[in-house]
Chain A
């Protein structure tokens, strides 16, 4: 009985306390201070400024693998589950004057289990970026040397203006894949004045597609109400490519963007005689038109259209399908080696970018709001074959340092449609982030 009475008193005390707390005036969280503090010196405390940004994250992903993919000859073991643990560490050091240094490196451990129950563990420690920057006293001239990842695209989803090769940008950005953030070893010289800036780039090329060692680019950028950029990119011994970007504010809530590239070489090869051969034609464009509407309640709606000349036309796609049928029919013949190689190469084509001509992207998200749970849903639709890639993310910031994300992806479409060709039919990923 005495125990119950004590509980009642505690409850009553708590009730009275909470009632007072609700009706209390707004309390200054910064504490009391003299109304006129002494004059604060404006002297810079230290000549050097250090800034760090670190993230430790891990995720587990489970995939549902299709049983009968179009390119599947039954000999490839597909990845069924993934585990990743990664440290993403970035820093910036400034002398307080004309010199500064920026860097970012990652330690990544991946553990992958294939659908035939084989487990592979890999460790990577890439330097994603690391460069030294010098700027003139007036700030008009700047120079950077080291590993840098320039971003010429101003895109929401597709980023065709990022012309440097090999491209690390994916059709759908995977925040957890740090290797997508790797830069190129290069030297940059930049001139800025008012709304204009001109940057020139000399970079190495370590890809295998072209027989080149270096690549060069010039970017002319004008900022303002209509933001525009022209990029000229040259791959040594290969080709000169061009990109143009533009973005503008339609009104207080709507932004629009446009982006286009023109490249000499076609990114996708044509199928014939159980092999893929480069297209002899030259001059292929890729164009993006997009808009984002920002609602007052914290939700953003984004829509984007892509026209891709690199993609296969209906006739060219029919050729791919015919060759796949021929390859599958040849698996038990003397042409088996060519047939298997062709089917494996077909899977590689999927990783090169959009396979067809026209795409639509849409997203709705409240990730900039202060809601308890952040929601992001998007779709990417191939307008030529109606296959769709759906993406849903639920993000929760548990504290200033800890966040979680649950992400689900579904790839729908017929077995000869782009998103129906992917080995995975569904993916679920749970990620945990610790920021410090």
Chain B
């Protein structure tokens, strides 16, 4: 008799292949091979567990995760970084490390309203007073010495080793399509593995894998961020959470470079506040006189 655990391992591995094949099928590659694997997978599941349906399954409880539940997990991920459509502010401390180099630290204050965000540079002292306005892909930078406000490209990384999206957050539920890829057990804890594919062009990351705990709270453990060519850009480890006005937010994040493991950045998010913000605050002319 096959145990639940081993059966599920087979199921997860097969499911991984099917998800992988689905991706390949979508890209028009090796269709017949994928079809054969899919057939074998469906037959295997029919023999091993008649209760299984075409949706995903859990390793320990055999519960199904519907697409609605998958989408809810992605919304929960957004909620750990913000308050969705409501205006809010928070502060960030970044410390970036590179091998054989002194760590670099910066401190920022951020205001967010929908897809608009304002980033004010508080430290180091030489950058104090700089401000960046981001509205979707449009970004402007103000440098206090000259008071000039110039348009900058999204690829311009202004904040150490972290991308602008890492700082202001990304609305994953709006910009990405999520699917359950499988599950994994890490140090005795079971995790859902979600695959997020970008719906829009011009995003910092083409696709993302996110590990969610299956325990109550369903907190994220880590995320892997990939390019369109499937190159791992960075891995984010959600290292700490903190309550702000009864809402749990990510408090500490560790970003590790996908190529150079010695390059990593610690981010500390703090002072989350719901704010009554007006869209008139998110204009270029406001950049030269920000109030935080």
Contact = CB atoms under 8 A, between A and B. Distances in A.
Interface of A: 26, 28-30, 33, 35-42, 44, 49, 51, 53, 88, 90, 92, 94, 96, 100, 102, 133, 138-140, 149, 151, 153-156, 159, 173, 175, 181, 190, 192-195, 197, 199, 221, 223-225, 227, 247-249, 251-255, 257, 292, 294, 296, 298, 300, 368, 370, 372, 397, 400-401, 403, 433, 435-436
Contact of A175 (B128, B145, B273, B292): B145
B145 A40 contact: no
A192 B148 contact: no
B281 A40 contact: no
A223 B135 contact: yes
Contact of B155 (A29, A253, A403): A253
Nearest to B129: A53
A294 B157 CA distance: 9
Given A370-B161, A403-B126, A433-B126, A90 B144 contact: yes
A207 B125 CA distance: 35
Contact of A397 (B126, B157, B285): B126
Given A139-B281, A400-B123, A368 B149 contact: no
B155 A138 contact: no
B202 interface: yes
Interface in B83-130: 93, 95-98, 101, 103-105, 123-126, 128-129
Contacts of A247: 150-151
Closest 7 CB pairs of A and B: A400-B124, A139-B280, A435-B125, A192-B280, A139-B278, A435-B126, A247-B151
A181 B288 CA distance: 13
B68 interface: no
Interface in B235-292: 239-246, 251-252, 254, 256, 264, 266, 268, 271-274, 278-281, 283-285, 288-289, 291-292
B242 A294 contact: no
Contacts of A199: 285
Nearest to B242: A37
A436 B292 CA distance: 19
Given A133-B289, A221-B285, A255-B152, A40 B243 contact: yes
B144 A100 contact: no
B146 interface: yes
B242 A368 contact: no
B199 interface: no
Contacts of A296: 155
Which residue among B138, B161, B202 has the maximum number of chain A CB atoms within 10 Å of its CB? B138
B216 interface: no
B104 A370 contact: yes
Contacts of B279: 194
B3 interface: no
16 contacts: A26-B256, A37-B251, A40-B242, A40-B271, A53-B129, A138-B280, A151-B149, A154-B150, A159-B148, A181-B145, A221-B284, A249-B151, A249-B153, A255-B153, A370-B96, A370-B98
B154 A252 contact: yes
B55 interface: no
B126 A294 contact: no
B158 interface: yes
Given A92-B289, A175-B145, A435-B128, A249 B156 contact: no
B280 A49 contact: no
Contacts of B283: 192, 195, 197, 223
Contact of A154 (B129, B135, B151, B160): B151
Given A42-B273, A197-B283, A223-B135, 7 more contacts: A29-B95, A39-B244, A159-B148, A192-B280, A197-B285, A225-B138, A254-B153
Nearest to A195: B283
Contacts of B246: 39
A409 B93 CA distance: 38
A154 B153 contact: no
B137 interface: yes
B284 A223 contact: yes
A42 B152 CA distance: 33
B24 interface: no
A49 B156 contact: no
B147 interface: yes
Contacts of B149: 151, 154
Given A49-B291, A401-B125, A39 B245 contact: yes
B15 to A, nearest CB: 32
A38 B242 CA distance: 8
A251 B202 CA distance: 8
A435 B285 contact: no
A310 to B, nearest CB: 22
Nearest to B243: A39
Interface string B57-82: 00000000000000000000000000
Interface in B148-197: 148-158, 160-161
A254 B152 CA distance: 8
A247 B140 CA distance: 11
Contacts of A173: 146
Interface string B190-210: 000000000000100000000
Contacts of B272: 40, 42
A296 B251 CA distance: 29
Nearest to B95: A29
B33 to A, nearest CB: 35
Contacts of B146: 151, 173, 175, 181
Which residue among B129, B161, B292 has the maximum number of chain A CB atoms within 10 Å of its CB? B129
Contacts of B101: 372
Which residue among B147, B157, B280 has the maximum number of chain A CB atoms within 10 Å of its CB? B280
Contacts of B252: 28, 30
Which residue among B135, B242, B243 has the maximum number of chain A CB atoms within 10 Å of its CB? B242
Contact of A300 (B95, B156, B245, B289): B156
B101 to A, nearest CB: 8
B153 A292 contact: yes
B138 A294 contact: no
A249 B135 CA distance: 12
Contacts of A92: 289, 291
B285 A436 contact: no
Given A255-B151, A401-B125, A435-B128, A53 B280 contact: no
